[in-house]
Amino acid sequence: MLFNSVEFAIFLPIVFILYWFVFSKHLKAQNFLLLVVSYLFYGWWDWRFLSLIIFSSFVDYGVGIAMHNSSHKTRRKLLLWVSICVNLGFLGFFKYFNFFAESFAEAFTLMGASIDPFTLNIVLPVGISFYTFQTLSYSIDIYKGKLKPTTDIVAFFAFVSFFPQLVAGPIERATNLLPQFYRHRIFKYNDAVDGMRQILWGLFKKVVVADNCAEYANMIFNNYGDYSGSTLFLGGIFFAFQIYGDFSGYSDIAIGTSRLFGFRLMKNFAFPYFSRDIAEFWRRWHISLSTWFRDYLYIPLGGSKGGRNMRIRNTFIIFIVSGFWHGANWTFIVWGALNAIYFLPLLLFNKNRNNLGIVAEGKYLPSFREVWSMSITFGLTVIAWIFFRAANVGEALGYISEIFSLSLFSMPEVRPSNLLLLIAVFVLIEWLGREREYAIEQLLLSKPKLLRWSFYLILILFVFLFQGKQQTFIYFQF
């Protein structure tokens, strides 16, 4: 079920009414309702894949209790490996089986032998990359003694399948989200209003910004051989705003929807295109995934504490694995490796934590140095996004080579003035709200109600006007 669909517009009010007006006095009943509607939400896409999420939930629920009840280190480690193998086994089979089969065949072809790869007609279950990481972190935290397992099976299953963030994150930790299922939740008007405001902004980012950018990004990328370097770079910019509006818009809707039901999810985006270096960008982009890899892969590998070679190795591992997490294609691996190359100089010269604060905090305008730093970082990010968007590495290299030709200095053949103006207004609003949880959290709150509500109505009008250009959320494929 898509957030920007008629079905969800009907689904959400019904669940809200049942949750607060029918089951509000019974915590377990509320949790059970959330479990049922979450399975309905997920099963709306394909009910057959509910068996995967249910089985994964059973495994980690049982593993968590068994690990807690065992004092034998070897048995605890074996149980942890059960969780790892089940979760990553599902992920590997559905997402990477064909990739490895085809890559294996291609390797033999390069050596002069020809074999036909054995592939399967596999449908990738929506959200499998997200909920497998969520349940896996639960088992790892119990193994490390950071968390006690729950015996409330309904609360645990609801935590794994919580519908606002089930299919595209944020990837929540049990230490944050699971305890919220134990506490009695009271309806708070201000939280609900704030949640609706964030949902509105998320819908605007997705439906108006991302889907309009997608129209031109698709046209340029699909016919990149027909355009000049300037047009191709503009296409890269359109895709950069498409993927940001699409994914951060989903996160905003997920976080806002959770607020309607008395839950607080972690922040997943923190205005990443205002970053002054790549290290800051990765602290602000897809925060739930970046911190997951940091805590469960980078730090266990030694992090930045070892020698230079270890730091280089760990940096490449974390970025390449992150790229591979996004998809079974060499383009994602190259995208990850390229970001590692961007990041490496900052790490080696101990400058990766230079920009921890908010750019131009407390000011309306950034300094010239900040503008230059943000521009360079954004430009590097756009080049990396080309690998993310391209169908294959060869196409990405061809696309980039044309950008860095003399035609880069020509007038773009595609100049959608309305879209460029829309992006400029969007960037301005994001800039004004960059010190908040989301851009319009406090925007116009101190102004007259007529002005504030006029602004909200304009956003709503734009969402309805552009609803016809509906595009599937990009991260559904991951």
Annotated catalytic residues are: 326
* 3 state SS for 86-120: HHHHHHHHHHHHHHHHHHHHHHHHHCCCCCCCCCC
Is 309 exposed, middle or buried, given 0-12, 13-18 or 19+ CB atoms closer than 10 A? exposed
> Which tokens in the block code for residue 289?
């995934």
Q: How far apart are CA 462 and CA 153, in angstroms?
A: 43
Stated as kind and residue range, the H or E segment containing 321 is helix 308-326
Among the listed residues 186, 258, 251, the one whose alpha carbon sits nearest the alpha carbon of residue 20: 186
Classify the phi-psi angles of 185: left when phi > 0, otherwise alpha if psi is within -120 to 50, otherwise beta.
beta
Q: How far apart are CA 311 and CA 168, in angstroms?
A: 30
Q: Please answer whether residues 58 and 82 qualify as being in contact, where contact means their C-beta atoms are separated by less than 8 angstroms.
A: no
Residue with tokens 């319009």: 440
Q: Please answer whether residues 300 and 321 qualify as being in contact, where contact means their C-beta atoms are separated by less than 8 angstroms.
A: no
Q: How far apart are CA 237 and CA 285, in angstroms?
A: 16
Is 121 exposed, middle or buried, given 0-12, 13-18 or 19+ CB atoms closer than 10 A? exposed
Q: How far apart are CA 49 and CA 124, in angstroms?
A: 9
Residue with tokens 């696309």: 399
Stated as kind and residue range, the H or E segment containing 370 is helix 368-389
Helix, strand, or coil here: 66? helix
